[in-house]
Structure 1
C-alpha cells in the first residue's frame, strides 16, 4: 500500500504543474489576443512595402560610337558632370558643312543685291531716255505743225501759180518728213517704255532672289544651330546629383539615340510605397502618421506620413492587367499602392536607404487625416443651383 501512495503523489504534482503552466499560457494568449485586437483597431500594418526613389536614366540624344566612359559602377556624381563621351568627328564635319552652306547663302544675297543695283541703274537710264524722246517728240510736233502750215499755204499759192511747182513739192516733202520723224520718235518712246517695264520686272525678279537668298541664310543658320546642338550631345552629362548604377559600357561600343545606357539615382529623394490589401483601406487617409521599420537596419525606425493613395490597384497598373471576363474567375484580394513620405530624416540616413529595400509599415489610423473623404458630386449635378436653393 505504501508503494502505491508513493507513485500517485508525483503524478498529482505533475498534473498540477501542467495545469498551472496551461493556465498561464491561456491567460497570456488571451492578453495577447486582446492587445492584438486593440492594436488592430488603431493600426494597419503591411510588410509588402519598399523604399522608392526617382531613377534618372542616362539616354543619348544622338547615335554614335563611345569614345570614353568617365564613370564607374556606383560612383557619386554631381549635376553637369561628364559621364560618357561619343566620337564627335562626324558631327564636327556636319557643322563645317553647315557653315560652308551659310557662306554660300550669304554670297548669294550679295550677288542678288548687286543685281538690284544694276537693275535700278538701268531703270533710271531708261526713264532718262524716255524723257529725252518726249522732248524730241514735242520738237517734232512743232516742226510738223510748221510743215503742215507751210504745205497748206503753198497748196493755195500753187493754185494761183504764185509759187513754182518745185517750191510746192519741197513744202510737201518737208511735211512728210516731219510726219515720219514724229512717228519714229513715238516708236522709240514706246520701245523705251517697254524697256522700263522689262527692267522693272527684272528688278522684281532680283528682289525675289534676295528674299530667297535671305531665307536660305536662315535655313543654313538653323542647320548650323542643329549641328552645334548635336555636337554638344556627344558629351553626355549627369542631369541630377546622385549615384550611378551599373555601367556596362566600353569604348568603341555603338549606342543609339534614345537607348538607356544606365541610371542615376538621386541622393536625397526617398519615400516608401506600401501595398495594402483592399480590405485594409477602409480607414487609411492622407496625412496619417506612419512608423517604418527597415529590414536592412533593425535598429533604424523612421517616421512618415501618408501622402497619396493610388487611384487604381497594382494589378490594373501592371503591363498586362488581368481580364476576369476572359476565363474562369477566381477572386483575389487586390493591393492598393500607398505613398508614404519620410519625415525628419537626415541626409546621412537617406543615403543609407537604397531604392527597393524592404520595409514594414504601421499606419496610425487615429492620427491626423483620419476623417472620411468628402463625396464628390456626380457628373451633371448642378451644385451651384443646389447651393442657391
Structure 2
C-alpha cells in the first residue's frame, strides 16, 4: 500500500514538474527574457550658470527633489553685477543730460543764426537800395551843378560888364553853392551807406561762420548718441547677466546629482545640478543576439526593477540598435590576428514605459525584462 502511495506521489510530482517545465519552456519560446536591463535617460543634462561666476548664496533643491520648468533652483550673489549696472545707468544719465544741454544750445544757435542771416539780408537789401537811390540823386545833383556853373559863369561875366545887378548874380551863386552842399551831403550819405553795407555783409559772414560751430555741435551730439547707445547695450548685457545669476530649470524633472554647496565660489559653466527630465526615462536592454528573433519595434514588454520588486511596469520596444554593443566599446576586439572566441553579442534595445509609476525610477537601476516575440 505504501509503495502505491509513494508511486502516486512521485507521479504527481513528475506531472507538476512537467506542467511547470512546459510553461517555462513555452514562456521562453514566447518571450525573450534577460536581466541585462538598465534604466536610462536620453536627455539627462548638467545645468550650470551661463556667462556669470561668483558665490552661491542659495541652492533650492537637493538630490531626488522634483523640479518644475522655469523654477529657480540656484542663485549666485549678484552684488558686483548690480553695482556695475548702477554705474552704467549713472553714465547714461550723465551723457543724456549733456546731450540735452547741447541740443538746447544747438537749437538756440540755429535760431539766432537764422534771425541774424534774415536780418542781415534784409538790411543789406535796404542799404543796397538806398545806395542806388543816393547814387542816382548824386548823378542828378551833378547835372544840376553843371547847369548852375554855366549860369554862374554867364552871370559873373554879365556882372563884370555891369549888365546885371549884383543881386541876380548872388542868387545864381547861392544856388550853385547849395547844389554843391547837397552833393557833399549826398556823398557823405553814400559813404555811410557803404559802411552799413559792409556791416550787413560782415553779419552774414559771421552767421555763416556760426554754421561751422553748429556742425561741431552736431558732431558732438552724434558722438554722445553713439556712446549712449553703446552703454545701453552694456546695460542690457549686465541686466542679462543679473538674470543669469538665477539658475532656472529648463524642464520638469528630478535632481539626479548636486555638484556644489552653498557659499562656494564657482566659475561660469561649472555644473551645479544634473537633472533628469520628466518622461525621458526608458529601459535599455542589452539583448543577446540569440534572443533577437521575433523582436520588433512595437513588441510589448514586461519590466521588473530590482529596487522595486512589488512594482510592475509595462512597455513597448521603440528602437532596436543596428549595431552590437561591442562595436562601441572603448577597446573593440581585434580578430585580425586569427585568435577568435565565439561570444554571444548583445544588441541594444530600447523600451518605452507605458504603464507603471516612473516617478520612483532612477537612472542606472537594473532589473529584468520579458519581451513578447512577434510571429
Same fold (TM over 0.5): yes
User: Counterpart of 1:13?
Assistant: none
Change (3 A) 1:135 1:81: same
- Is 1:148 aligned to 2:139, yes or no? yes
Determine if contact 2:145/2:180 at 8 Å carries over to the other structure: no
Quick one: distance in 2 between partners of 1:265 and 1:107? 52
- Is 1:98 aligned to 2:109, yes or no? no
Determine if contact 2:63/2:258 at 8 Å carries over to the other structure: yes
User: Counterpart of 2:6?
Assistant: none
**What is the root-mean-square deviation of aligned Cα atoms in Å?**
4.4
Change (3 A) 1:151 1:74: same
Quick one: distance in 2 between partners of 1:169 and 1:118? 50
Quick one: distance in 2 between partners of 1:110 and 1:329? 87
Question: Does the residue aligned with 1:257 lie in a helix, a strand or coil?
Answer: coil
More divergent stretch after superposition (237-246 vs 278-287): 278-287
Q: Per-residue deviation at 1:104?
A: 0.9
Quick one: distance in 1 between partners of 2:339 and 2:243? 56
Quick one: distance in 2 between partners of 1:179 and 1:227? 72
| Cα deviations by residue, 1:202-254 (Å, 9 ceiling, x for unpaired) | 33443444444344444333333333332233333444444333434334321
Change (3 A) 1:108 1:286: farther
For residue 117 of structure 1, the aligned residue among 85, 103, 107 is 107
Q: Per-residue deviation at 1:354?
A: 1.1
User: Counterpart of 2:365?
Assistant: 357
Quick one: distance in 2 between partners of 1:329 and 1:114? 92
Quick one: distance in 2 between partners of 1:201 and 1:139? 32
Quick one: distance in 1 between partners of 2:373 and 2:359? 29
Change (3 A) 1:120 1:171: same
User: Counterpart of 2:46?
Assistant: 57
Quick one: distance in 2 between partners of 1:226 and 1:169? 86
Determine if contact 1:147/1:174 at 8 Å carries over to the other structure: no
Quick one: distance in 2 between partners of 1:251 and 1:65? 8
Determine if contact 1:67/1:87 at 8 Å carries over to the other structure: yes
Question: Does the residue aligned with 1:92 lie in a helix, a strand or coil?
Answer: helix
**Structure 1: any 5+ residue segments left out of the alignment?**
1-20, 368-389
The 5-angstrom pairing of residues 1-389 of structure 1 reads 35=25, 44-53=32-41, 54-61=43-50, 62-79=52-69, 81-127=71-117, 128-155=119-146, 158=149, 161=153, 177=188, 180-181=191-192, 183-266=194-277, 268-276=279-287, 284-310=295-321, 337-345=348-356, 349-366=357-374
Quick one: distance in 2 between partners of 1:131 and 1:292? 102
Question: Does the residue aligned with 1:245 lie in a helix, a strand or coil?
Answer: strand
Q: Per-residue deviation at 1:263?
A: 1.4
Change (3 A) 1:343 1:175: same
Question: Does the residue aligned with 2:247 lie in a helix, a strand or coil?
Answer: strand
| Cα deviations by residue, 1:110-157 (Å, 9 ceiling, x for unpaired) | 112211222123213312232123212211221122113323553566
Q: Per-residue deviation at 1:100?
A: 0.7
**Structure 2: any 5+ residue segments left out of the alignment?**
1-10, 155-171
Q: Per-residue deviation at 1:101?
A: 1.4
Determine if contact 2:113/2:207 at 8 Å carries over to the other structure: yes
| Cα deviations by residue, 1:59-84 (Å, 9 ceiling, x for unpaired) | 11210022344444434444555533
Q: Per-residue deviation at 1:339?
A: 3.0
Quick one: distance in 2 between partners of 1:352 and 1:219? 52
More divergent stretch after superposition (51-60 vs 273-282): 273-282
Aligned length: 336
Structure 1 length-normalised TM: 0.68
Determine if contact 2:120/2:204 at 8 Å carries over to the other structure: no
